[in-house]
Amino acid sequence: MFFYLLIDTVKNICNRTLTFKFKRKRLLLSEKNKNSKAIGYARAIHNEYEYLEEQIKILKAEGCSLVFSEFISLDEEIKPQLIKAINCLSKGDQLIITQLDRAFKNKKECLKTINKLMSKDIKLRTLTGFFAANEATKANSSIFKILSELDNLEDKSLGERKKEQLLRRKLSGNNLGGRPKISPLKESLVIRLRNEGYSYRSIRSQTGIALSTIRRVILEGELI
């Protein structure tokens, strides 16, 4: 009897040990994604009906539970259906498009949206192989943030260079745009020649000043 009790005790200990050994503290990836969803976005310009239908068909075959689509120009600042698609996404979900130019008109817009999605732990994937997700590595997230900052740097640097150019032109007395300006001496010469009976074309040949500027100088002189 004692022998059988000993065997049962050993079996129970082994079973508990095995159960503890294979008990998972973390969910499998498939279990994590069980409640996540994939939402698609398709876009085409007007009259591209077949192209839009083709995108929708491919996205549904890819596993999208819902596909938002619209006929709209890529250059439009606001794409209503894209906004709706993004608003439907939550943590762990993914936005799928056939290729990047279906949703974004330039690099800046793309990076801005990627960083927005990644901050909410939402993935972006294209059927051409592009993939952006916050869960892969911290380095992956940092790369997109760096690219975004570099893009902003280019814009800010360009704006500052334009300001510096305008300032230098202003300090040197050069024309900043608009009507071409001439010196007071040349204006006086134009008016004198006109008063002496010379035609506009004759004044142009003698002074080298454009006809439009000659007309403006004479008209302004008559108003004084």
Pick the closest to residue 171 from 159, 163, 179 (CA basis): 163
Of the residues 150, 176, 210, the one at which a domain ends: 150
Domain that holds residue 203: 184-223
Most confident of 7-11, 31-35, 204-208: 204-208
Highest mean predicted confidence (pLDDT) among 11-25, 73-87, 97-111: 73-87
pLDDT at site 28:
41
Alpha-carbon span 176 to 167, nearest angstrom: 9
- Same domain (yes/no): 194, 138: no
Half-sphere exposure of 84 (CA within 13 A, CB side): 11
Q: One-letter amino acid identity for 160? A: E
159, 163, 219, 209: which is closest to 189 by C-alpha? 209
Q: Which residue has the higher pLDDT, 160 or 16?
A: 160
How many alpha carbons lie under 13 Å from residue 119 in its C-beta half-sphere? 8
Among 125, 150, 175, the domain boundary falls at 150
Please state the pTM of the whole predicted model. Answer: 0.52
What is d(CA 108, CA 90) in angstroms, rounded to the nearest whole number? 23
Q: How far is CA 46 from CA 49, 70, 71, 171, in A?
A: 8, 9, 5, 50
Residue 146 and residue 60 share a domain: yes
